């Protein structure tokens, strides 16, 4: 399968994340092993300048067949729908015109990262560039390609959302397509692959013991749970970040930062500072998914009353103060 990758408006962080994919031989070798040929990528291809433009022209007019179009970054429709806020260098045409033409030729179209999926950080604030995603504008269907868009294989845009997206999510999605193992039923309501959104960031969180006892961090450097005071949305965010950490070791909460639910549309404007938890009468307004408010209040009260001294003291420190006790094993 032949792959063309374009970078629209964004930071390039999803490509940087992809380069860290866990493969001894590198991500390009991983693609090759899966039967995927990277025809064009702004940062990883050998072709440049006129050679790149010739490849794009051939792909757009049907002379060069390809299978997968990946777009990283938000699509800029401004000013006034012209798309001229982002021109493809040397072509004299807006990038969005190229994206529309190439998407019409592709068997599969992938939005790589939340910017390309929903607009993301680039669309925040007044959005003077009229940035949007490929098939969503925030949480509204439509985007650049429109609600009714379907690729050559009959699928909508596949949103590999995340800011940045996890390299494993990109690789697994592409390999699933190469194997013919991904269809419309494998996408969730936001058109994200279910293999990573049917888990929560909370699953596998190294701070889960503190969460269970509602032993909360009071400041950024504390070891405690970040939900109650520090804005963490790990119990509400759909992603498997803590089950398969970046490079095998890293995630936001493992680095001491709250989960900001970057895989969902609108995460960039939560209506409050990212590192603060909005509350009403002392109760967080964003409760864990599937948990009624009354249950959470009752559970929190019971958990706090049973918090061991070790957990309570460690939660308010930047390093463990008290080690777990040691219990002799043997017949009970």
Distance in angstroms (rounded) separating the CA atoms of residues 222 and 207: 11
Residues 178 and 254 in one domain: no
* Helix, strand, coil share (%) of the chain residues, nearest 5: 30, 15, 55
- Kindly state the DSSP code that residue 184 receives in the 8-state scheme: G
Total domains in the fold of the chain: 2
User: Can you give the pLDDT of all 332 residues of the chain as single tens digits?
Assistant: 999 999 999 999 999 999 988 776 788 899 999 999 999 999 998 888 999 999 999 999 999 999 999 999 999 999 999 999 999 999 999 999 999 999 999 999 999 999 999 999 999 999 999 999 999 999 999 999 999 999 999 999 999 999 999 999 999 999 999 999 999 999 999 999 999 999 999 999 999 999 999 999 999 999 999 999 999 999 999 999 999 998 888 999 999 999 999 999 999 999 999 999 999 988 898 989 988 888 888 988 899 899 999 999 999 999 999 999 998 877 76
Residues 258 and 314 in one domain: yes
**Structure-block tokens of residue 294:** 């009354």
Residues 47 and 173 in one domain: yes
CATH code of the domain containing 80: 3.40.50.700
21 part of a folded domain: yes
Residues 206 and 129 in one domain: no
- Chain-centre distance for alpha carbon 29: 24
208 part of a folded domain: yes
Residues 203 and 191 in one domain: no
Residues 24 and 173 in one domain: yes
Residues 171 and 229 in one domain: no
180 part of a folded domain: yes
282 part of a folded domain: yes
Q: Extract the annotated binding site for [4Fe-4S] cluster.
A: 11, 14, 115, 163, 202, 205, 225, 232
Distance in angstroms (rounded) separating the CA atoms of residues 51 and 93: 17
Distance in angstroms (rounded) separating the CA atoms of residues 178 and 31: 10
292 part of a folded domain: yes
Q: Using the structure block, give the residue that is written with the tokens 């699509």.
A: 75
Residues 116 and 39 in one domain: yes
Q: Extract the annotated binding site.
A: 11, 14, 115, 163, 202, 205, 225, 232, 241, 259, 262
327 part of a folded domain: no
Give the pTM: 0.94
CATH code of the domain containing 277: 4.10.480.10
CA dihedral in degrees (235, 289, 298, 206; nearest 10)? -20
- Chain-centre distance for alpha carbon 167: 10
Cα first-last separation, the chain: 60
Domain boundary pick from 195, 222, 250: 195
Which residues constitute the domain of residue 182? 2-195
Domain boundary pick from 195, 224, 255: 195
Cβ(157)–Cβ(145) below 8 Å:
yes
Residues 52 and 186 in one domain: yes
Residues 239 and 278 in one domain: yes
Strands 140-141 and 136-137: antiparallel
101 part of a folded domain: yes
Residues 171 and 286 in one domain: no
CB atoms within 10 A of CB 147: 11
Q: Extract the annotated binding site for [3Fe-4S] cluster.
A: 241, 259, 262
Distance in angstroms (rounded) separating the CA atoms of residues 89 and 17: 24
Cβ(158)–Cβ(193) below 8 Å:
yes
Domain boundary pick from 148, 169, 195: 195
326 part of a folded domain: no
Burial of 243 (0-12, 13-18, 19+ CB in 10 A): middle
Distance in angstroms (rounded) separating the CA atoms of residues 124 and 121: 5
Cβ(189)–Cβ(135) below 8 Å:
no
Residues 169 and 287 in one domain: no
């Amino acid at each position: 399968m032949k792959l063309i990758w374009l970078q629209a408006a964004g930071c390039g962080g999803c490509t940087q994340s992809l380069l860290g994919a866990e493969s001894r031989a590198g991500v390009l070798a991983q693609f090759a092993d899966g039967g995927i040929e990277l025809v064009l990528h702004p940062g990883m291809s050998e072709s440049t300048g006129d050679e790149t433009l010739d490849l794009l022209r051939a792909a757009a007019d049907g002379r060069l067949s390809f299978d997968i179009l990946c777009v990283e970054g938000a699509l800029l429709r401004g000013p006034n729908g012209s798309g001229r806020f982002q021109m493809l260098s040397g072509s004299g045409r807006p990038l969005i015109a190229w994206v529309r033409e190439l998407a019409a030729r592709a068997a599969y179209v992938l939005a790589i990262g939340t910017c390309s999926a929903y607009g993301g950080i680039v669309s925040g604030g007044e959005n003077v560039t009229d940035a949007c995603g490929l098939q969503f504008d925030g949480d509204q269907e439509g985007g650049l390609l429109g609600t009714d868009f379907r690729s050559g294989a009959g699928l909508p845009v596949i949103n590999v959302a995340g800011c940045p997206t996890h390299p494993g999510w990109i690789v697994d999605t592409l390999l699933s397509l190469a194997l013919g193992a991904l269809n419309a039923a494998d996408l969730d309501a936001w058109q994200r692959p279910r293999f990573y959104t049917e888990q929560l960031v909370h699953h596998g969180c190294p701070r889960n013991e503190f969460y269970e006892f509602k032993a909360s961090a009071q400041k950024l450097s504390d070891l405690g749970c970040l939900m109650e005071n520090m804005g963490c949305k790990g119990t509400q965010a759909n992603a498997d970040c803590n089950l398969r950490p970046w490079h095998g070791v890293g995630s936001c909460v493992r680095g001491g930062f709250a989960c900001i639910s970057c895989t969902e549309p609108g995460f960039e404007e939560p209506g409050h500072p990212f590192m603060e938890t909005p509350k009403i009468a002392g109760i967080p307004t964003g409760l864990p998914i599937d948990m009624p408010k009354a249950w959470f209040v009752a559970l929190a009260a019971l958990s706090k009353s049973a918090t061991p001294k070790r957990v309570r003291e460690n939660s308010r420190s930047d390093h463990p103060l008290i080690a777990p006790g040691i219990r002799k094993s043997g017949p009970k």
